[in-house]
Structure formats: structure tokens, C-alpha cells
Structure 1
Amino acid sequence: MALAFYAVACAPPPKSEKDLSLKDAFAGKFYIGAALDSAQIVGEDTAAIRVVKEQFNAIVAENCMKSEKIQPQEGVFDFHLPDQFVDFGEQNGLFVTGHTLIWHSQAPAWFFVDSLGNDVSREVMIERMKTHIQTVVGRYKGRIKGWDVVNEAILDDGSYRQSKFFEIIGEDYIRLAFEFAHQADPDAELYYNDYSMANAGKREGVVAMVKKLQEQGVRIDGIGMQAHIGLGHPDIAEFEKSIEAFGALGVHVMITELDLTLLPFPDQNVGAEVSASFEYQQQMDPYKEGLPDEMNTKFENRYLDFFKLFLKHQDVISRVTQWGVNDTQSWRNYWPIDGRTDYPLLFDRENNPKPVVAKIIELTKE
């Protein structure tokens, strides 16, 4: 009896409503995650790491697992940061996603050419792709729970992107990438990930591609909808149509790379095309000294509208992941215009939760 009394007396008190975290609030609904940069992975950014441990139950690597980083030279793999990333996830009981195996951007130049700089043959390209995927996935077999296998292969009109993978191999490279990943780790979940997924043309193209993979017997477990949103785009009703269309395929839907830019955008047609770049102009950087109340209100309302949508479709949504931990880290400060000050995430530059976090948590109680 004394031991039982001691155990009860020493048990931590239940969390108050004030202390409730995002991961607590969304428990039983979907994972809530964040992308980690190198300073966080190696433990230098201790304040951001505290936020991750307190608030999130899923992580993805922002850059260190992209092919130009992980295999900068043929046959020379750099697992230094990825190993630390996976270790951190395991030590803290987090759902770990690998990002990304096959992507036309941030791929090493050698991947597609021979010693003379000419495109390699289809056979060589397939072998290089297979070696890369199976080496990386195989290293983390049973440890990384899900992989973004192919990233951004469909254009806004629903056609295939004419990437080097497509030019050399053909559309079959997508099927092969998923098959190679499945062979390397039969238990890992496998995803397709893309931006501007609320566009009707892209929606139809992705649905057609996934249906074809399913008909070919290829394992595909989920579709990642990158959510690089703004105050006026995408149309939330169109975003919902895509959630429903993808969910109807019998796969998970994941909200990936979520951030909300408040800055004017120089060209709405570029989506989240990482190669887009525009020169700095002062009028395109209006909030360097802070956000006015009116913009804070718009920011909160937009985030709340999207989280209401995510909760509405929690039956098919398995994860919602912010693209970063805090505003300082966000790529929105340097893309598509370098040197701007944006406020796209749920935690500010001092790693404090913004007022909208408490309001998002309140939504889960309704």
C-alpha cells in the first residue's frame, strides 16, 4: 500500500488546458509534425528542439536527405546528418519521414550524365536510381516509417514534368522508384508529394498517375499535398476537392510543407517551383518591422480555416507537417525573393507559440 501511495503521489499532474500541446490536442486524429534544419538536427538550436519535443510527434528532414546532399558524388554517400536526424526521431518517439528519394531539383549533376557530360542511357539511369534508393532506404530499414519516394513529377496541367528522369527513362521511372523503395524496406510507407495540389489539372493528373500505379500492383500508401499557402491562394474549396479525390483512391492524405506567407507574391503562376527567383524590392518586403494587427487577424483566420478543414477530413488525413519550426528558419524569408521578413509558421522568431496555436488547439475540442 505504501508503494502504491508513493506511485500515485509521485505521478506527474495531468496537463492543464493551458499546457496542452499541439501533439496532445491532435492525438487520435493525425500526426502533427515539423521539418528540421541542420542546426536543429545537430542540437545547436536548442530552443527550437525544445519546441519540437514539446509540440510535435513527427519530423521530416528539410534538406539533408535530398540526393545532392546524401550522394554528392557517385557512390559517395554522406549519412552524417541523416543518421543524427533518425537518431533524434527514435530517441524522442517521433514518426520519421524521409524526404525525398527522387526529385528533379537538388539532385547532383553527375546523376544524369557520363564522363563526357552526355546524358546516360536508360539502363544506366535506372541502375543509378535503384542504387541510390536502395542504399538510402536500406540503411534506415525499419527506422524511417515513411518515404517521399517521388517529389513534384506532375505539372499544373496534369502532364508529366519533363525532368531528366522522365527524358531518360520515361514515365516508368515513377513506378520503378516505388518498386525499388518497397524492395529495400517492405514495411515502410511510400508516398507521392507535390505542390499546387488544389489545381484541378494537377489533381486530375495525380489521380490518374496513382490509379495507374495501383493497377500495376505498385505499393503507394499516401499522397502528400504541399501546403505552401497564401492569404488568397489556394481556394480552400478546391483544396478540399483534392483531399476528397485523393482520399477516394484508398490512400492516406498528408498535408506536407505547411506554411502561410503574408508577403506579396511576384508571380502566382510559379506555385512552389524552387527554381523561381526574383530581385529584391523594398515594396515586396512590407513587414520588416513587424506585422500590423490587421495582418495578424488575417493570418489567424486563414490558419484556422485550414485546420478546420483538416479536422473535417481526419478520417483520411494521417499527418499535418509545418515546413520548419519557427519563422526564422522558414524558406519563405528567401524564396522566391531573398532577404525578406515573413511570418509563415506557428512559432515566432523567439520560438514562442503564436496566439493562433491556442485557437487551433481549441478547434480540436469542438
Structure 2
Amino acid sequence: MKIQTKKALLYLALASVVAGFGQKAEPTLKATFKRDFYVGAALNYQQSSGQDAKSTALITQQFNTISPENLLKWGPVHPRPDAYNFKPADEYVAFGQQHKMFIIGHTLLWHQQTPKWVFEDAAGQPVSREVLLKRLQDHINTVVGRYKGKIGGWDVVNEAIDDQQGDLRKTKWLEILGEDFAAKAFEYAHQADPQAELYYNDYSLYRPEKREGVIKLVKSLQAKGINVTAVGMQGHYGLTKPSLAEVEASIVAFSKLGVHVNFTELDIDVLPNPSRRQGADIAETFGADAKYNIYKAGLPDSVQQKLAKRYADLFALFHKHRDVIDRVTLWGVTDADSWLNNWPIRGRTSYPLLFGRDYQPKPAFRAVVQAAK
């Protein structure tokens, strides 16, 4: 080899080393907030079963807690009185264990995605309180018991407070069991796994009426000697609403109950909303309309920057209250996975998360990391 060639190769090698000194690995969410709170994502079945390799790489790199989007809700896991479908849930739990994550169970009692048979007898008539309590207890014993010591925390009761007045939502659970339905669910969950954290989870908890309804519910449970580990505030927010002051008021109010706070379903909807209501009532849907799907070709930079600022402001607030916030979970991994592509209108192109459809971090991701500093 000629001397000139050797010199050229040596120069290239040295140049690459020098360039490497100036580069830093992209920070991760779990490392950025490791002293503050868990950061997680809700997984769909393709992800939790390991069938989506790109998502697996992103999930394991960025997150240290996971939630199941649907597979542990009553309908998917217990579709018929005599049948449980545990395969997807088993794979989800195994995924979390393999990657040493804090695993969440979602959800044990909800008025949605619960089969009709739960509330009816063979003739289609409402069952008695005793029958429904037995079904609830059997379901919780079986599901929570199966994952005892593996699932670290359960959303025991989900969305039990009315949107408008803060009263108990009118559901079959309330109609048949009466006002102690939540207490019974928490009692059964604690019996099935005394070490598991137990949560109440709901959306729009920044609204004073709904916040007061949850405070009343938690106090009633505490008066019965029932431990509520945390209130889960679903963070289905917009670019400007709710205000940071409204969100913070609820963090403070719940912490005064002696419970912690989880942000359980965080996403930011950048699309126009056909409803004047803020929230996550899955029963409220609308027909297709182009004026509500305005970013099909991509998110404009101006909106991208607004999204980044919104996420940065929220995470700065979470960081401020890290003494009472245990977990922040994004409802999805990438924009492609988000339920907001199909709610409240099906087929929209939504951009609510920190990672794009290309699995790459968005400006919002870097803004969140910077907010921690």
C-alpha cells in the first residue's frame, strides 16, 4: 500500500473519531424522568405480542411502563360467561416482564366494552344485585388473580362520574348494584392481589364539577377503609384547552386527599373537534367531514411548534408536581396507533403523540426532554 493511501485512510479514521466526540445519543423519556415518574405508552395487540418489531424497539428504548389499550377490558378478556381469552393478556404481561417494565391492568369495571350478558339473565332480563356482585367478584378474582405479583397497578373503576354534574354516571352498574359498586370493585381487587396499586381513572378531571365528583367518590371509599393509591387523570387534551391552571388545580386537589396522581391517557388532538365538549366519551361520534381532517398531507410546521410547546408546558407542570405524580402514560406509541385517527370521526389523519408515523421523534419529543431541564 502506498504511503499516500495509508495517510488518507488514517486521516479518515481520525476524522470519524473526532466527529463522534461531538455527537450525543438521543435522550430517552425513561432516562430523562427516571428520578421523577414512570413514562409509558398504551400498547395495541400487535405491539404487546411482539409482532411489530419497529414499535418494540421504540417502546423498549423510551418507556418503562406499559398499559394495555383494549385486551384487558371485560369484553376482550371475558367475552362469554364460561370463556376467558387470556392469550393476548398473557403476551402483554410477558412483554412487560421481559423488558422489566411496570405493568398496568386496564380496566376492571367500566360501562363500555362490557358484554350484555354480564347484566342479564338467560331471558334477557336484568339480573339481581346478588348475581351481578357474584359475576363482578368472579371476574376480578380470575383476572387479577391470574396476574398477581406481575401487574403492578389496576384501573379498578373507569369513568364512573357523569360529564356534566359530577354525579355518579347512570349505568347498569349503578342501576343494579347501587352506589357501592365502586367500593365492591376495589374490595374484590384488593382481595385478589393485596400488593397491587389500585386506581380510579377518568377523563376531563380538570373540570371543577367532575373533579368534585371524583373527590366525593374517593372520600366515600376512604371512609370505608378502602385504599385508593392514585387518581388517573386521562390527558385527552387540545392545543389550548384545558388551561395549565385547570390541570394543576386538580393535581393539587387530589393530592390533598392523600392519594397520588397518574396521567394515564395523554395525547394532544391538533385537529378541529366537531364537538364543543372536551373529553373522551367514545359513544360520541360524528360522520366524515373534510373540514375536520385538514392535515392529510402532513402537519404544518406552525402547528408542529404549537404541539411541541403544549407538550413542553404539560411536562414542565408534571415535573413541578413530581412529588405526587407517579406515572405519565401516552395513549399510543406513534401517531399511526392513536385512537384519535378514528374518534370522533373515522379515517382522520391525526398527530397527537411524540413519535410520528415514521417512528421518529417529533419536535414535541425534544421539547419534552428540554422541559425536564
Shared fold (TM-score greater than 0.5)?
yes
Residues 79-104 of structure 1 show CA distances to partners (whole Å, capped at 9, x for unaligned) of 00000000010010000000000000
2:297 is matched with which residue? 289
1:322 maps to 2:324? no
User: Secondary structure of 1:362's match?
Assistant: helix
User: Secondary structure of 1:279's match?
Assistant: coil
1:4 is matched with which residue? none
Residue 104 of structure 2 contacts residue 153 of structure 2 at CA under 8 Å; is this kept in 1?
yes
Taking the aligned partners of 2:76 and 2:140, their CA distance within structure 1 comes to 14
Taking the aligned partners of 1:222 and 1:290, their CA distance within structure 2 comes to 37
For residues 219-234 of structure 1, the aligned pairs below 5 Å read 219-234=227-242
1:254 is matched with which residue? 262
**Structure 2 vs 1, CA of residues 363 and 341 (structure 1 numbering), >3 Å: closer, same or farther?**
same
Residues 231-288 of structure 1 show CA distances to partners (whole Å, capped at 9, x for unaligned) of 1321221111000001111111000110001111111326210111100001110000
Q: How many positions carry a matched residue from both structures?
A: 352
2:162 is matched with which residue? 155
User: What is the one-letter code of the residue matched to 1:110?
Assistant: W
2:101 is matched with which residue? 94
What displacement does 1:355 show? 2.0
Which sections of structure 2, spanning at least 5 residues, go unmatched? 1-22
The percentage of aligned residue pairs carrying the same residue is 50
1:48 is matched with which residue? 55
For residues 334-345 of structure 1, the aligned pairs below 5 Å read 334-345=342-353
Taking the aligned partners of 2:302 and 2:80, their CA distance within structure 1 comes to 49
User: Secondary structure of 1:24's match?
Assistant: helix
User: Secondary structure of 1:321's match?
Assistant: strand
Taking the aligned partners of 1:104 and 1:235, their CA distance within structure 2 comes to 28
For residues 188-227 of structure 1, the aligned pairs below 5 Å read 188-227=196-235
Structure number with bigger Rg: 2
1:358 maps to 2:366? yes
Comparing 125-134 and 269-278, the one that deviates more: 269-278
1:115 is matched with which residue? 122
Taking the aligned partners of 1:181 and 1:85, their CA distance within structure 2 comes to 20
Residue 347 of structure 1 contacts residue 353 of structure 1 at CA under 8 Å; is this kept in 2?
yes
1:18 maps to 2:25? yes
Taking the aligned partners of 2:370 and 2:238, their CA distance within structure 1 comes to 23
1:32 is matched with which residue? 39
User: Secondary structure of 2:333's match?
Assistant: coil
User: What is the one-letter code of the residue matched to 2:304?
Assistant: N
Q: Which stretches of structure 1, 4 residues or more, deviate above 6 A after TM superposition?
A: none
User: What is the one-letter code of the residue matched to 2:113?
Assistant: Q
User: Secondary structure of 2:183's match?
Assistant: helix
Residue 96 of structure 1 contacts residue 146 of structure 1 at CA under 8 Å; is this kept in 2?
yes
Residue 179 of structure 1 contacts residue 219 of structure 1 at CA under 8 Å; is this kept in 2?
no
User: Secondary structure of 1:111's match?
Assistant: helix
1:104 maps to 2:137? no
1:65 is matched with which residue? 72
User: Secondary structure of 1:268's match?
Assistant: coil
1:269 maps to 2:239? no
Taking the aligned partners of 1:242 and 1:119, their CA distance within structure 2 comes to 37
Which sections of structure 1, spanning at least 5 residues, go unmatched? 1-15
Taking the aligned partners of 2:116 and 2:52, their CA distance within structure 1 comes to 31
User: Secondary structure of 2:42's match?
Assistant: strand
Residue 270 of structure 1 contacts residue 276 of structure 1 at CA under 8 Å; is this kept in 2?
no
1:332 maps to 2:365? no
What displacement does 1:128 show? 0.5
What displacement does 1:183 show? 0.2
TM-score (norm 1): 0.94
User: Secondary structure of 1:223's match?
Assistant: strand
137, 143, 151: which is aligned to 1:144? Answer: 151
TM-score (norm 2): 0.92
What displacement does 1:359 show? 2.2
